[in-house]
Chains A and B, each alone.
Chain A
């Protein structure tokens, strides 16, 4: 609380990003966790909530007659453009937010104050919802080739690795420890994915410290052990995901495996750029996304020069190489980059999605992120800038993984159980710090922080709300949901992900969602199936009764004569309770949730936000062909902007 210099500012304007002439006036509140903008307009109580932890950067611009502009960029790509009446107030808000959005200690993070009102037992269940050992069991591990190693039990061998690791059966503790000493941060080769079908495995590690042509017998034995744990294969791939020139430059002491020292390996460079290149690339792309009414050329040129899609393609290409090696050649692969927690995580997880349909399910993707990212020590707190730290450590590595999945969903609409909203929600919460899952940089840190006891898990929240995240086109038995995906990586197959990067520019998105439409239809179908079953039941009961001629004088009496008489329905004086009861118990009105949904949607869109989208974009505002009269009629309270809620 001591960081809030000014809890409330009146008469603040929130400008519409795309058409700044359209603004809303309201009151800005700063709370311990959120910035809240409440619109003043009579009758509408529209609120915009922004979590402090989602604030990425702020820009205070020079004051003008109308006030002092403060632009807030969020990590979920929302951009808020406030105009605060007095410079002094703007200054205070700016300073307060700067402090609030950059916690100095873990203790300040939102996950420790977020309290969804569940007791300790439920909290335990939340965290037990995902069990990585179960995923290894699903892969068929441990077996005669791979065993669970206790060598890293107290994070003594590698403090950034998880405690539970799978290693080749023949890898003894001395070999593991020896190998770990030869690898950056002790991240020795260990299993990430195992194919039950052909015994090929994806292993991961950090780079070998082979800089001055050093070699390490244990490390060579370790790779030999990995090779031998795939009995049908006489060689393995070692994939270095860095561009070759990086290694040619030769950073001191670090390097890659020399094919002469390791028997039967095939070495492969796959050039994915480093975290700094990726950070700058995304920054450039976001600048393009935020351009106000850009031309097509501005957009395409900007997209190209950002290099973003090129990097996405590189990650996907690497994933495809590995997935094909495993599935088609039956060859095991060891993947590493430098530390083995960025590019390696991307490539291993993309390959897993391509290889195993399980990871294309709702639960499977959660497991995959938990395994390849969270447990293997992707440095979420550094990369996502959860608290004040080195800006050079920040990089959208996980964004790129989520985008690769999205690109695959675009090519394989029936292959994934989840929808785009699922990816976007995960993205948002990786940055929001609302849940404990992504706090800290590795497992050891998370245990020290006591996150399981003191915060909540996103995964069980997502699972509880799974209805929102289902892809209506998915069927487990669909051909796309089987086996290996072989996507095309021709450049034109990569699209700009508007749904994420322009997520809050609602005017840019399709005004009718096929997916929502189909989901509504499916929901209705389910109701119909139930009705059908109950009608059949009732029908059976009725006909049973009528034919059994139970002449008890109940309301259910259906003697044969009733059938003859019944043809004249004109004055059918049906008992109210019976019919009424029947109708209410199983709704007889033909329900059309789907169509009403669409129409409702439309009623809002064209009349309200749509106009605001189209007139600025079509440049009409600039043509000043708008009469003052219509200004009011087209103006709309854009209620959805307030839809971001903490929940």
Chain B
């Protein structure tokens, strides 16, 4: 298909762009296959380059012959384009609509994007399972890397290589997979070096109404327990939801069949509820006419902060079981691709200092989200402004990032990256020139040949200038477990995302610059003092030699 067919009017002059907290710009609007571009054709004025895939929805308004298109983006920004001429306006609008809702993955921008930077390290190879396993091997010999899923036949949403207990053979895995939702048999998510405890994740067990059991599944997860030790199963659903799942063939691990495990139910909501929550929250944030009462009541009614609290609490619980109780943990919800991943990844942020570095965090996103089969394409197809009925959309990943931000706020010196890294990941998960977040699972990515045909986000991030931009000047390596507070008073609205376009951030940006300045000046002085000290030491050590005639 040619993009040109969809572009009815490629160019309009005299278009006025309105953006929040920025002066209006008049210029020429151009539509390309992947971008909406506004150029004022003047030096040193900003241009707008907007990916069509970033557009969530548009609205048209007409006053006489002047048409306006209100463009609502997946990154939550809202801009307005005033277009002279009704026909042009209609053409532009329908072109944008068509281009921003292309169904075919292979038409997405990452397949056309050519990097303007030098790739120092190919991000597609930066976080391979076999490399992650090498780290594990250096700590323990109780696990092995199984190739049972090498052709994605046992579990379509798992990567070809997964870490499983050494004593469990591939046949057992195959059988266990038939007993778990979408074949997602229990695999290793995290190994806690401090005490050798582990966190595993899986899909729900398919016990059904008649309480089916699977010896292999029991064997598999029992193999992760030390003799005489008990483990915890964290089911991210309430007991009611888990009970109901039985009617659809799902279920949970019964005490009778899993006597060594204690099951805990939490209440993390599922996709539709979360998507609705996001829509309500963004609506509340965008309504400027609020009274205080209305704002607080809408914020409450959105339940967003409730979800943040619940997810964070569950992650703390998992971390606590591992670190404090010295027990292994298995986490699952229904599919094991959403709330499960929120919990396992956040628990690692809490427990493992390595995950709080820039590279470590990339590794975490790669392992626990991309390779673990979070269906990014489905979940991030639409954002908060979509008019269409939500299908599979849900801000599961955004909630995870929000939770990380909450921990970052509470431990501002313990993360190597700053808030901007989290915002960047949010943006790229929804619309990107990079291939990283395309597709729903490793199998799909392999089929699309993403590593060959697109550039990895990590290739771009892992360059010195980007790393510097994303790094946290306050960072001091902290090897400890960090326990966040989950009291409502401690959990804040993530302004950097939800109020980003609604209020001027100038004063906060200035404060950030001031902070950077204080730290850099200190470093500069340290260097000066050290070099002077060396010079002096030299002077001093030199002349005493003369003193001993």
Q: A residues engaging B (CB < 8 A)?
A: 18, 289, 293-301, 303-304, 307, 309-310, 313, 411-415, 472-473, 475, 478-480, 488, 490-496, 498, 502, 505, 507-514, 517-518, 521-522, 524-525, 528-529, 531-532, 535-536, 538-539, 542-543, 546, 555-559, 561-563, 565-567, 569, 572-575, 578-579, 582, 588, 590, 594-595, 598-599, 602-603, 605-607, 610-611, 613-615, 617-620, 623, 625-627, 630, 633-634
Give 7 nearest A-B pairs by CB, closest first. Answer: A566-B542, A299-B488, A491-B295, A413-B511, A304-B296, A300-B300, A614-B483
A/B interface sample: 11 pairs, CB < 8 A: A304-B293, A412-B507, A508-B490, A524-B522, A529-B525, A532-B528, A532-B532, A535-B533, A539-B536, A557-B543, A574-B540
Residue contact A490 to B482, C-beta cutoff 8 Å: no
Q: List chain A residues, Cβ under 8 A from B476.
A: 594-595, 598-599
Q: Which of chain B's residues have a CB closer than 8 A to the CB of A307?
A: 292-293
Is A508 a contact of B489 with CB atoms below 8 Å?
yes
Q: Is B317 an interface residue (CB 8 A)?
A: yes
Q: How far is the CA of A633 from the CA of B525 in the complex (A)?
A: 43
B526-549 contact mask (Cβ, 8 Å, vs A): 1 or 0: 101110110110111111111110
Interface assignment of B515: CB less than 8 Å from any CB of chain A: yes
Q: How many residue pairs bridge A and B at CB < 8 Å?
A: 277
CB contacts (< 8 Å) of A496 on chain B: these are 489
| Distance in angstroms between the alpha carbons of A573 and B545 in the assembled complex | 7
A492 and B295 form a contact (CB under 8 A): yes
List B contacts of A611 (CB < 8 A).
324, 483
Q: Contact check, B541 vs A569: say whether CB atoms are below 8 A apart.
A: yes
Which chain A residue shows the least CB distance to B511?
A: A413
A residues near B411, Cβ cutoff 8 Å: 510-512
Binary per-residue interface labels of chain B (384-413) against chain A in the complex, 1 for a CB within 8 Å, 0 otherwise: 000000000000000000000000011111
Asked if A566 contacts B541 (CB within 8 A), the reply is yes
B204 contacts A by Cβ under 8 Å: no
The residue from A294, A510, A610, A626 contacting B409, defined by CB atoms under 8 A apart = A510
Q: Do B296 and A615 touch (CB < 8 A)?
A: no
Cβ contacts under 8 Å, B483 to chain A? 605-606, 610-611, 613-614
How far is B296's CA from A297's CA once the two chains are assembled, in angstroms?
10
B431 within 8 A of A: no
Q: Is the CB of B485 within 8 A of A613?
A: yes
Inter-chain contact B290/A490, CB cutoff 8 Å: yes
Closest to B304 in A: A296
SS of A interface (majority): helix
User: Which residues of A are found within 8 Å of B507, using beta-carbon distances?
Assistant: 411-415, 480
Q: Given B288, B291, B409, B510, which contacts A414 in the complex, CB threshold below 8 Å?
A: B510
CB-CB nearest in chain A for B292: A310
Is there a chain A Cβ closer than 8 Å to B207's Cβ? no
B4 at interface by CB-CB < 8 Å: no
Contact with A along B306-340 (1 / 0, CB 8 A): 10110011001100110011100000000000000
CB atoms of A565 and B536 under 8 A apart: no
Distance in Å from the Cβ of A159 to the closest Cβ of chain B? 38
CB distance from A443 to the nearest CB of B (A): 36
The answer on a CB contact under 8 Å between A478 and B510 is yes
Contact of A473 among B300, B317, B514 (CB under 8 A): B514
Residues on B lying within 8 angstroms of A by beta carbon are 232, 262, 264, 285, 288, 290-297, 299-300, 303, 305-306, 308-309, 312-313, 316-317, 320-321, 324-326, 409-414, 474, 476, 478, 480-493, 499, 502-504, 507-508, 510-511, 514-515, 518-519, 521-522, 525-526, 528-530, 532-533, 535-536, 538-548
- How long is the Cα–Cα vector from A555 to B549 in the complex, in angstroms? 12
The minimal Cβ–Cβ distance linking A315 to chain B, given in whole angstroms, is 12
Least Cβ–Cβ distance between B357 and chain A, in angstroms: 16
Are B539 and A488 within 8 A (Cβ)? Answer: no
Q: Are B481 and A606 closer than 8 Å at their CB atoms? A: yes
Q: Give the distance to chain B from A561, nearest Cβ to Cβ, in Å.
A: 7
Contact B546 A300 (CB under 8 A): no
Contact B539 A542, beta carbon cutoff 8 Å: yes
Quick check: B514 and A414 within 8 Å, CB to CB? yes
Known: A310-B293, A490-B288, A525-B518. A296 touches B536 (CB 8 A): no
Q: Shortest Cβ distance from B324 into chain A, in angstroms? A: 5
Cβ of A510: which chain B residues have Cβ within 8 Å of it? Answer: 409-412
Please give, as numbers and ranges, the residues of chain A lying within 8 Å of B515 by CB-CB distance: 473, 514, 518
Contact A626–B514 (Cβ < 8 Å): no
* In the complex, chain B residues whose CB is within 8 Å of the CB of A531: 529
Pairwise interchain contact A539-B535, C-beta atoms closer than 8 A: yes
Measured in the bound complex, the distance between the Cα atoms of B147 and A28 in whole Å is 66
User: By the criterion CB–CB under 8 Å, are B542 and A563 in contact?
Assistant: yes
Chain A residues contacting B324 (CB-CB under 8 Å) are: 611, 615, 626, 630, 633-634
Residues of chain B lying within 8 A (CB to CB) of residue A495: 492
Max chain A Cβ within 10 angstroms of own Cβ: one of B485, B510, B530, B547? B485
- Contacting B413 at CB < 8 Å: which of A578, A598, A633? A598
Q: Do the beta carbons of B487 and A304 come within 8 Å of each other? A: no
B488: which A residues are within 8 A, CB to CB?
294-296, 298-300
- Residues of chain B contacted by A414 (CB below 8 angstroms): 507, 510-511, 514
Q: Which partner residue on chain B sits nearest A510 by CB separation?
A: B410
Cross-chain contact B540 with A579 (CB below 8 angstroms): yes
Given the known A-B contacts A573-B548, A602-B478, A625-B262, are A558 and B539 also in contact in the complex, defined by CB atoms under 8 Å? yes
Q: Are B493 and A492 in contact (CB under 8 A)?
A: yes
Q: Are A509 and B525 in contact (CB under 8 A)?
A: no
**Contacting pair A573 B544 (CB below 8 A):** yes
Whether the Cβ atoms of A623 and B487 lie closer than 8 Å is no
Shortest beta-carbon distance, B408 to chain A, in Å?
10
The answer to whether B264 and A623 touch across the interface, beta carbons within 8 angstroms, is yes
Evaluate contact between A304 and B297: CB separation under 8 angstroms: yes
Q: How far is A478 from B515 in the complex, measured between Cα atoms in Å?
A: 13
Are A508 and B518 interface neighbours, CB within 8 A?
no
Please name 4 further chain A to chain B contacts, defined as beta carbons within 8 Å, in addition to the given A578-B540, A615-B320, sorted by A numbering. A412-B507, A512-B413, A566-B542, A630-B325
Across the interface, B510 reaches (CB within 8 A) one of A479, A582, A633, namely A479
Which residues on A sit within 8 Å (CB–CB) of B291?
310, 491
A488–B313 alpha-carbon span in the complex (Å): 33
Question: Which chain B residue lies CB-closest to A293?
Answer: B487
Taking a contact as CB atoms closer than 8 A, the residue among B299, B474, B540, B545 that contacts A300 in the complex is: B299
In the complex, the chain B residue whose C-beta lies closest to that of A566 is B542
Neighbouring B residues of A569 by C-beta, 8 Å:
538, 541-542
The answer to whether A599 and B529 touch (CB under 8 A), given A303-B296, A535-B536, is no
B residues within 8 A CB of A598? Answer: 413, 476, 478
Whether the Cβ atoms of B474 and A491 lie closer than 8 Å is no
Question: Please, how many angstroms separate the alpha-carbon atoms of A297 and B307 in the complex?
Answer: 11
Q: Give the Cβ gap from A528 to chain B, nearest Cβ, in Å.
A: 4
Complex formed: what's the CA distance from A416 to B445 in Å? 52
B contact residues around A575 at 8 Å (CB): 544, 547
Query: Nearest residue in B to A613 (C-beta to C-beta)?
Result: B485
Q: How far is the CB of A507 from chain B (nearest CB, A)?
A: 5
Q: How far is the CA of A472 from the CA of B381 in the complex (A)?
A: 44
Give the most central of A296, A509, A514: most B CB within 10 Å.
A296
**A535-B536, A625-B321 known; A491 vs B547 contact (CB < 8 Å):** no
- Would A614 and B541 count as touching, CB distance under 8 A? no
B543 touching A491 by the CB < 8 A rule? no
Closest residue of chain B to A501 (Cβ to Cβ) is B489
Q: Give every chain B residue within 8 A of A479 (Cβ-Cβ).
A: 510
- Docked Cα-Cα span, A495 to B528, in Å, equals 42
Name B503's contact: one of A488, A578, A590, A627 (CB within 8 Å). A488
User: B543 and A566: CB pair below 8 A?
Assistant: yes
Q: State the Cβ distance, B494 to closest chain A Cβ, in Å.
A: 12
Q: How far is the CB of A570 from chain B (nearest CB, A)?
A: 10
Docked complex Cα distance between A155 and B233 (Å): 75
Whether B325 lies near A511 (C-beta < 8 A) is no
Partner of B232, one of A412, A625, A634: A625
